[in-house]
Amino acid sequence: MDKHLSEDLTVCGREPQIKTLKSLLRRDIACCSNVFIFGSPGSGKTYTLDKFFNHYKIRRLLINCIELYNSRLIYEFIISTLTDTEKVSVKNENEFIHKLQTSLSDKEEAIYFVFDKADRLRSLEPRVLLNFIKLRELAECNISCVFVTQKLWQEFQTDLGLPRPILIRFPIYTKFELLAIMTEDVPDKCSPALYKTYCSLLFNIFHKACNNLMELRHQAVLNFPKFYQPILDGEATENQVGKLWKNVQGHLKEALRTLYLREISSSKWQRLQEHCLAEGKEVKIQSSKQSSSRVNAELPLFSKYLLIAAFIASHNSAKTDGRLFQKKSAKISKKRQLVGEKKKNERNSTWLLGPKTFTLNRLLDIFTFIVEENLESINLNTSIFNQITSLVSMGLLCQTNASDCIDNPRYKCLVNLSFLEGISKSIDFEVKKYLLDFIEIN
């Protein structure tokens, strides 16, 4: 065994994976098969690989498949990095193989191409992934590929029949592994035992909503000054953990409410903590109106109309759509009919029953009507359907039936009226005149 492989590398919770990598990836001879590394987000895949290659001084080329979003960019990036030239033109895979053989002809050490976010390769031409898997055979060089992804290998299979690589799974961290890694961030002014106790208490609050290592470390570092403040003020000692915990408990619950959102930066959060501490107030990040304003700035115009249409569909009966969304010539009788419908259903207010589900066709009908009435005619295209998917991913809508039900999907609107009013005001739209419960009776 090589001398560089005799040295031990320790990464908390990843000793079995490092042992497997150590037996496969060598500096002199590349692995005869490709390596497929998979695991959930925040499981230490990229970090462990980076530590491994740096520790054993093995040549590697990191390829980010998000930045290099097509095959030509990947080919040109590899050749330009190996030849140390800025501008390289690679038109096809044959030219790439030829230039790769030329650039690696006099290299004795093995080199590994590490594809981060490798699941993006599935969206490229079918032969791209196959060519990289068989790259060692095609180029006849001392080379091998390492694929890093969150997907399973079964999701990469195609009709071309891909050779199976060596699979290495990175499981999620256990509680003890998470605490051991979080304790490594101990500040200089604090003892390791106190910081470990603090991380354990913080984990008990966040573990039901979050098991992501990066987010837990971020929250631990962000809120530790508030936990340690009584010691700096001389009001408590490190042994009085209960008093220290009481000082930070309210701040952690507020941070839990905005988990993952990153609504303010770490520096602003610390300044907000200091300001609230000086005035004796609890930390509040932002109100629902401010949250609505933030979403207003992020949502496209048609997404706002789609959200309004979804809210109307959730809080109005489908029977009233025909009379509610009529042209101007029928508006005189429409109000009388709606008032009668309101009196009839007075006891079954939608605000007591909650939002109802609606079909995609009904959503698009209401959306088309309110857009054409306020803006201009619109043609439904794929971008509208993509925006509906985005609203679902943002948690503003939810699909109530199975996700694979593409014939007639059903949705439900999850926002409240105050939130939607902020959306409506940003586009000068009066949403209450389309809600049956708010139509005035004269």
Six-digit token pair at 272?
Answer: 């907000």
Q: Among 128-137, 162-171, 342-351, 376-385, name the one with the lowest average pLDDT.
A: 342-351
367-384: per-residue pLDDT in tens?
Answer: 888 887 777 666 667 688
pLDDT averaged over every residue in the chain = 80
pTM, entire model = 0.62
311, 398: one domain = yes
129, 161: one domain = yes
343, 265: one domain = no
55, 161: one domain = yes
190-228: per-residue pLDDT in tens?
Answer: 888 899 888 888 888 888 777 788 888 888 888 888 888
124, 264: one domain = no
pLDDT at 288: 43
Domain boundary among 170, 198, 220: 170
Look up the domain containing 275 and give its range.
Answer: 175-285
Domain boundary among 170, 197, 227: 170
**CATH code of 395's domain:** 1.10.10.10
pLDDT at 348: 52
139-153: per-residue pLDDT in tens?
Answer: 888 899 999 999 999
pLDDT > 70: what percent of the chain? Answer: 78
Alpha-carbon span 230 to 247, nearest angstrom:
8
Tally of structural domains, the chain = 3
Six-digit token pair at 41?
Answer: 């987000």
Query: How many residues would you count in the chain?
Result: 442
All residues at 6 or more sequence positions from 304 whose CB lies less than 8 Å from its CB, including other chains: 296, 423, 426, 427
Q: Are 241 and 197 in contact (CB under 8 A)?
A: yes
**Quick check: 181 pLDDT over 50?**
yes
313, 383: one domain = yes
What mean pLDDT comes out for the span 23-40?
88
With bands split at pLDDT 50, 70 and 90, how would you rate the model's confidence at 114?
Answer: very high
229, 336: one domain = no
115, 260: one domain = no
161, 221: one domain = no
243, 340: one domain = no
Domain boundary among 237, 257, 285: 285
386-405: per-residue pLDDT in tens?
Answer: 888 888 888 888 888 766 66
Alpha-carbon span 122 to 234, nearest angstrom:
59
**CATH code of 15's domain:** 3.40.50.300
22, 40: one domain = yes
187, 300: one domain = no
